[in-house]
Amino acid sequence: MAKPSVAIVHYSCPPVIGGVEFIIEAHARAFAEAGYATRFIVGKGGTVHPDVKTLVIPEITSRGGPIAPVLKSLASGRVPPSFDKVVRRVESRLMQALHGVDVCIMHNVLTMHFNLVLTTALANIMKRKRSVRFIAWTHDLTFSEPFYEPHHHRRFPWSQLLTKLPNCDYCAISGQRQQEMCRLFRVARSEIPVIPDGIDVPQQLTLTPEVARLFGDEDLAQVDIVALTPARILRRKNLGVGMEIVAAIKKQGRSVRWIVTGAPDAHNKDSVKYYRLLRSLRRQLRLSREVVFLCERFADGVKDDDLRALYRISDMLLLPSEREGFGLPVLEAGLDGLLAVISDIPALRELAGRDAVFIRLGDSAEAVARKVIKAMRKRPELIYSKQVISTYSWDVVFAERIVPAILKPETVWKR
């Protein structure tokens, strides 16, 4: 099935700075990168992505541009004689901008008073242009905000902000907004689904391009436990034991990724042989997805910035070494709040925090896995971080909440 073309309507888009502007930029990027023909229809703004068109209609800014006197009159509570004429003018320009559009997403413009000419023009278009699906994406409402009480007029055109306009699906960005809209419009919650805003996890965590790509490719937003071993592939690192622990965590019902940063030493025959052995063990334990050797992914190796970023996306340090002289990764993991799962050897024991999970001689992989899972449950900050990433990462919000609203609206709006 061909993907529908999408238009995003707002008063402005970046480089204009604002909360809604940041959200619609994220929406537009997600649509464009998923292969949807995407355009902005705004009063002011520029190019935010090479595959997103920006169509500028100066009359639809929050201040009205060429029709500023009309909006100024409306702001004083008076409908000027020229209102109908400028509505028709904006309507005509919007119709041209909507040519070829399948889905029109309007952010805030049907629930805020900033440009009632735009609101009215869209209401008129929605009455007759049945070839386009219209969605009112609601961040704010004039009639639920005491600050805007001077604009709480219940006559036309303000009255359009008090009702669900025909031929339009409305959604809210939060449960609070949903509740306010249901009370205002006198409709059931099923008519106003919640589709939340998201967070750009790679940007927020300042991930390098390579680590951001890994984060997406491995779907780390949805993984229960991300383990990191910043070490070269040497026998004394005891990586086979780490692999058995990963297999045991998986067997106990947790999704897991284990990221090993180092590569075998090409000049060390035993290191190369050990790497081959580990790859064979990975196949035997059916961990081809779970165990990630970055020497197979990062063509230029792991740089310092990559390593810092890898700590930020990980939940635990896995260091099953037979011997170490110091154990710097334990300190690095501590700075980033990772759970340390480490061998019970002097150098590491000396550095470990109170909640470290020790891998002791004679411990089974299953026993260590149980300790890991129990320790993770006791770290509320880690649990919340995982919840944020798995629920509000833009990738997740787009795939699980926004795409269904576009492709399968009957699953989002319960008629």
DSSP string, 288-327: TTTEEEGGGT-TT---HHHHHHHHHH-SEEEE--S--S--
Task: Give the pTM.
Answer: 0.86
Mean of pLDDT values over 358-373: 94
Question: What's residue 266's pLDDT?
Answer: 78
What integer pLDDT is reported at residue 178 of this predicted model?
97
pLDDT band at 1 (very low <50, low <70, confident <90, very high): low
**Range of weakest confidence among 174-183, 188-197, 383-392:** 383-392
pLDDT in tens, 47-74: 999 999 999 999 999 999 999 999 999 9
Break the chain into its structural domains and give their ranges. 6-198+393-412, 204-392
Rounded mean pLDDT of 254-280? 92
Q: What is the pLDDT of residue 140?
A: 97
Closest CA to 263 of 238, 231, 304: 231
Tell me the angle at which helices 68-75 and 116-128 cross, rounded to the nearest 10 degrees: 100
How much is the pLDDT for 142? 97
Mean pLDDT of 198-211: 94
**Cα separation, 334 vs 346, whole angstroms:** 18
CB-count burial class (<10 Å; 0-12, 13-18, 19+) for 414: exposed
**Residue 205: per-residue pLDDT:** 93
Q: Is the pLDDT of residue 415 over 70?
A: no
Superfamily of domain 204-392: Glycogen Phosphorylase B; (3.40.50.2000)
In one-letter notation, the amino acid at residue 243 is M
pLDDT above 90 (res 361): no
Residue 353 binned pLDDT confidence (cut-offs 50, 70, 90) = confident
Q: Whole-angstrom distance between the N-terminal and C-terminal Cα of the chain? A: 24
Cα-based torsion angle of the residue sequence 224, 402, 7, 202 in order, rounded to the nearest 10 degrees:
-10
Residue 364 CB coordination number (10 Å): 11
Cα separation, 323 vs 343, whole angstroms: 8
The set of residues, in sequence order, having a beta carbon less than 8 Å from that of 373 and lying 6+ positions away, is 249, 252, 254
Round the average pLDDT of the chain to a whole number and report it: 95
Structure tokens at 179: 């509740």
The amino acid sitting at 68 is: A
**pLDDT tens digit string along 293-349?**
999 999 889 999 999 999 999 999 999 999 999 999 999 999 999 999 999 999 999
pLDDT tens, residue by residue, 117-168: 999 999 999 999 889 999 999 999 999 999 999 999 999 999 999 999 999 9
Name every residue whose Cβ is closer than 8 Å to that of residue 364 and which is 6 or more positions away in sequence: 248
Q: How far apart are CA 260 and CA 185, in angstroms?
A: 54
Distance, in Å, from the CA atom of 218 to the CA atom of 305, rounded to the nearest integer, reads: 19
**Are 382 and 339 contacting, i.e. CB atoms less than 8 angstroms apart?**
yes
Q: What is the pLDDT of residue 102?
A: 97
pLDDT of residue 82: 97
Architecture of domain 6-198+393-412: 3-Layer(aba) Sandwich (3.40)
pLDDT single digits (tens) 3-37? 999 999 999 999 999 999 999 999 999 999 999 99
- Identity of residue 223: V
Per-residue pLDDT at 380: 84
Average pLDDT over residues 228-246: 95
Q: Do 6-198+393-412 and 204-392 come out as alike in CATH topology?
A: yes
